[in-house]
């Protein structure tokens, strides 16, 4: 990473912000340029310390805005682009699909186009563009582009890794589990079902097209469900934590038996860093936690962990807006299922383990505990993002610049 300049889009959101924090902790010789539209999901408060760092520059704007993206490339000699910017909530995509196509497909295409223009130095003898050396565009994609897998078991089964090389990499993780015996690999056909996943698939196709047609140096990472600090409380885990602390019902779709693979967000940040530095140009890398769980079990585990933490430390009691006795499974409320709800996602991350030495380091029980403690200790952040206070802060801070 020595002396690299990285354009990170969508870095005021959940994973992008965690990625920037990870990079700044790990490297002291990088420059980060952030481009974020600050939608409801993007919050300046999440990266407030980072944007006051002289090595970080923040631009408010849309990845689909050609003039702005061109200007950023004109002002900075960007080595890597990492595109997190997206509309990311499946439920919102069911309400308003067009916005998802606009941002996730057209926005990505604009970013690719501006990147190509900025990095191109000429053409080879076959007419393909030639680029400045050492550059890379990384598209942050999702396991949802692969569609849905069958669920074979009602309870989790231990997962045995058969590949010797992968087993060696994943040496100190013992608690791997699965609800089936089929997995998404990088060769699995793309088969999206929701407007969100269809828009992310469209973006992936256009990234591949820029690599094939213009030889733009790219990578795509496809990751499973992330959890961790700074997650907007409309997604399952932060929403459940918030509602438990407030003594509100915990809405669970259908029977709660849909299965997702969960990965601690810092492990995802680590994977992206590795793919940027060591990933083979043009390749796709799946990133996953070897950690499948049903939604209902996630909710129950969250309830139990919060109860344990309340028993362990009186310091957390002030965060509760309900009696401690109310923290129990009677809060669970089953609601009508999401339209077109995919049954099971399960990533096989063997390729990134084998080729780059990455594996999901954080066991789920540790990660969920760390996450809940973070929420207990950062209630101000939750209140601000829910009330939109940081948007007001942005307007005050930047309106006269
Ligand atoms: N959250 C997950 O579990 C998960 C898993 C796999 C992949 N992903 C992918 O990772 C990326 C980040 O996800 P997240 O959960 O952090 O999302 P998020 O919704 O928390 O953040 C998205 C960020 O993008 C910004 N943004 C939205 N539209 C923009 C635009 N047109 N121009 C510039 N910025 C814009 C928002 O303001 C926000 O800061 C997304 O591409 C998502 O598809 C997410």
pLDDT at 397: 60
Note the pTM of the prediction, 2 decimals.
0.96
In the block, tokens 């049954």 appear at 343
Q: What is the pLDDT of residues 176-217, one digit of tens each?
A: 999 999 999 999 999 999 999 999 999 999 999 999 999 999
Q: Could you give the CA distance from residue 123 to residue 110 in angstroms, rounded to a whole number? A: 21
State which fold the 5-396 domain adopts.
Answer: Rossmann fold (3.40.50)
DSSP string, 264-288: EHHHHHHHHHHHHHHPPTT-EEEE-
Question: What is the number of the ligand 1 atom nearest to the C-alpha of 227?
Answer: 3
Taking the centre of ligand 1 as the mean of its atom positions, its distance from the CA of residue 323, in whole angstroms, is 35
Domain ranges of the chain: 5-396
Contact 165, 354 (CB under 8 A): yes
Burial of 35 (0-12, 13-18, 19+ CB in 10 A): buried
Q: Kindly indicate the confidence band of residue 38, based on its pLDDT and cuts at 50, 70 and 90.
A: very high
Taking residues 260-273, report their average pLDDT. 98
Q: Which of 50, 62, 79, 144 is catalytic?
A: 144
pLDDT exceeds 70 at position 137: yes
Q: What is the pLDDT of residues 304-336, one digit of tens each?
A: 999 999 999 999 999 999 999 999 999 999 999
Taking the centre of ligand 1 as the mean of its atom positions, its distance from the CA of residue 128, in whole angstroms, is 32
How far CA 396 is from CA of 38, 389, 400, in Å, comes to 14, 11, 8
Q: What is the pLDDT of residues 217-235, one digit of tens each?
A: 999 999 999 999 999 998 9
Number of Cβ within 10 Å of residue 96's Cβ equals: 11
Mark whether 144 is an active-site residue. Answer: yes
48 — phi, psi (to 5°)? -60, -40
Q: Could you give the CA distance from residue 342 to residue 334 in angstroms, rounded to a whole number? A: 17
pLDDT exceeds 60 at position 401: no
> Tokens representing 306?
């919060």
Q: Could you give the CA distance from residue 280 to residue 268 in angstroms, rounded to a whole number? A: 18
CA angle at residue 241 from 236 to 244, to 5 degrees?
A: 120
Number of alpha helices (DSSP H) and beta strands (DSSP E) in the chain? 15, 16
Mark whether 143 is an active-site residue. Answer: yes
pLDDT exceeds 70 at position 31: yes
pLDDT at 172: 79
Q: Does residue 12 have its Cβ closer than 6 Å to ligand 1?
A: yes
Contact 169, 357 (CB under 8 A): yes
Comparing CA positions, the residue from 189, 201, 165 lying closest to residue 349 is 165
Mutation choice for ligand 1 from 9, 12, 14, 47, CB with most ligand atoms inside 8 A: 14
Comparing CA positions, the residue from 361, 235, 216, 344 lying closest to residue 287 is 361
Taking residues 373-389, report their average pLDDT. 91
Taking the centre of ligand 1 as the mean of its atom positions, its distance from the CA of residue 78, in whole angstroms, is 21
Q: Which of 36, 62, 79, 143 is catalytic?
A: 143
Question: What average pLDDT does the chain have?
Answer: 95
Tell which wins on pLDDT, 3 or 2.
3
Taking the centre of ligand 1 as the mean of its atom positions, its distance from the CA of residue 135, in whole angstroms, is 23
Q: Does residue 256 have its Cβ closer than 6 Å to ligand 1?
A: no
pLDDT exceeds 60 at position 394: yes
pLDDT at 173: 86
pLDDT at 387: 86
Q: Could you give the CA distance from residue 289 to residue 363 in angstroms, rounded to a whole number? A: 9
Q: Does residue 37 have its Cβ closer than 6 Å to ligand 1?
A: yes
Radius of gyration of the chain measured on its C-alpha atoms:
21
Taking residues 41-45, report their average pLDDT. 94
Q: Could you give the CA distance from residue 239 to residue 14 in angstroms, rounded to a whole number? A: 14
Question: What is the number of the ligand 1 atom nearest to the C-alpha of 38?
Answer: 37
In the block, tokens 């950062």 appear at 378
pLDDT at 136: 98
């Amino acid at each position: 990473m020595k002396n690299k300049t990285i354009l990170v889009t969508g870095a005021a959101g959940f994973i992008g912000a965690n990625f920037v924090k990870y990079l700044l902790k790990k490297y002291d010789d990088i420059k980060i340029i952030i481009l974020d539209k600050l939608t409801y999901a993007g919050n300046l408060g999440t990266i407030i310390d980072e944007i006051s760092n002289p090595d970080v520059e923040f631009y408010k704007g849309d990845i689909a805005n050609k003039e702005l993206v061109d200007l950023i490339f004109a002002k900075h000699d960007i080595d890597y682009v990492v595109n997190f910017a997206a509309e990311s909530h499946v439920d919102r995509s069911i309400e308003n699909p067009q916005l998802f196509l606009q941002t996730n497909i057209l926005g990505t295409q604009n970013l690719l186009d501006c990147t190509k223009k900025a990095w191109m130095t000429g053409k080879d003898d076959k007419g393909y563009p030639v680029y400045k050396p050492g550059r890379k565009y990384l598209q942050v994609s999702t396991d949802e582009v692969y569609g849905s897998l069958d669920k074979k078991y009602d309870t989790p089964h231990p997962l045995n890794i058969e590949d010797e090389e992968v087993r060696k990499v994943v040496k100190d993780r013992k608690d791997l589990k699965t609800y089936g015996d089929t997995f998404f690999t990088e060769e699995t056909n793309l088969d999206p079902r929701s407007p969100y996943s269809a828009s992310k698939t469209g973006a992936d196709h256009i990234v591949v097209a820029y690599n094939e047609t213009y030889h733009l140096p790219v990578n795509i990472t496809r990751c499973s469900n992330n959890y961790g600090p700074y997650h907007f409380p409309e997604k399952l885990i932060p929403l459940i934590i918030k509602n438990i602390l407030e003594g509100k019902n915990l809405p669970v779709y259908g029977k709660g038996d849909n299965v997702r693979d969960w990965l601690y967000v810092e492990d995802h940040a680590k994977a992206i860093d590795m793919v940027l530095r060591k990933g083979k140009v043009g390749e796709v890398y799946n990133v996953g936690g070897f950690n499948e769980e049903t939604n209902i079990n996630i909710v129950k585990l969250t309830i139990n962990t919060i109860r344990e933490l309340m028993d362990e430390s009186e310091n957390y009691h002030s965060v509760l807006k309900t009696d401690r006795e109310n923290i129990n499974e009677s809060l669970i409320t089953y609601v009508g299922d999401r339209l077109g709800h995919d049954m099971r996602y399960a990533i096989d991350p063997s390729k990134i383990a084998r080729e780059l030495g990455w594996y999901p380091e954080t066991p789920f029980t540790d990660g969920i505990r760390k996450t809940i403690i973070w929420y207990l200790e950062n209630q101000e952040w939750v209140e601000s993002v829910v009330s939109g206070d940081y948007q007001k802060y942005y307007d005050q801070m930047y309106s006269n610049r």
